[in-house]
């Protein structure tokens, strides 16, 4: 980080950046890290927004993006400082989350080892569940033309035609 940029920041901003040093981050628990992460992200978003807003206005004023680029260096540098700080805090949050996941996994494995290890406890089955098996398919839909009598007549006509052919 550029020392000139750090010196140009307010005391509150400098304090926020100091909180992201390695020594300061090791003392924080996961909740404190998440709170710091959100504060750093807000500061970074603030300076990115300021930079973009000023750059947008300067393009029209100076006649192009290339001419307005050098005039907005301080806000761009501040956004970069907070982006670097945010990356450091994010790495620390990820490390805490990985440790918590590993601890949870070991505790669950230990709990499983304390039982017989055959899986979850058996569930008592009821007589109704045993009598009626679960079906995975819907019953097939019947083809119908609109009436039982009409369907019967159609089937009978088909049988007569087939019987006539079979008689030949």
- What's the pLDDT tens digit per position in 92-116? 999 999 999 999 999 998 888 887 6
Structure tokens at 92: 């620390």
Mean pLDDT estimate for the chain:
82
Structure tokens at 41: 């992200």
Report domain extents, the chain.
3-114
Give the pLDDT band of residue 22 (cuts 50, 70, 90). Answer: confident
% pLDDT > 70, the chain: 83
| Cα gap 163→160, rounded to integer Å | 5
Of 33, 26, 47, 145, the closest CA to residue 90 belongs to: 33
The answer to whether 51 and 76 have CB atoms below 8 angstroms apart is yes
Question: What's the whole-number mean pLDDT along residues 117-124?
Answer: 58
The answer to whether 27 and 97 have CB atoms below 8 angstroms apart is no
The answer to whether 81 and 5 have CB atoms below 8 angstroms apart is yes
| Cα gap 54→78, rounded to integer Å | 14
Model confidence pLDDT, tens digit, residues 138-164 = 767 666 667 778 888 888 999 999 999
The answer to whether 40 and 115 have CB atoms below 8 angstroms apart is no
From the number of C-beta atoms within 10 Å of its C-beta (0-12, 13-18, 19+), residue 82 rates as buried
Q: What is the pLDDT of residue 157?
A: 94
Would you tell me how many other CB atoms lie within 10 Å of the CB of residue 14? 14
């Amino acid at each position: 980080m550029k020392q000139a940029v750090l010196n140009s920041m307010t005391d509150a901003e400098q304090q926020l950046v100091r909180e992201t040093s390695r020594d300061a981050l090791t003392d924080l628990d996961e909740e404190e890290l998440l709170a710091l992460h959100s504060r750093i992200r807000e500061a970074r978003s603030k300076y990115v927004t300021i930079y973009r807003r000023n750059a947008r206005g300067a393009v029209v004023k100076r006649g192009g993006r290339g001419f307005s680029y050098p005039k907005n260096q301080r806000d761009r540098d501040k956004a970069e400082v907070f982006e670097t700080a945010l990356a450091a805090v994010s790495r620390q949050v990820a490390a805490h989350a990985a440790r918590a996941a590993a601890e949870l996994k070991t505790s669950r494995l230990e709990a499983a080892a304390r039982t017989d290890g055959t899986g979850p406890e058996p569930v008592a089955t009821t007589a109704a569940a045993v009598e009626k098996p679960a079906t995975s398919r819907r019953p097939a839909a019947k083809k119908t033309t609109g009436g039982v009598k009409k369907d019967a007549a159609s089937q009978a006509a088909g049988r007569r035609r087939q019987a006539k052919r079979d008689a030949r």
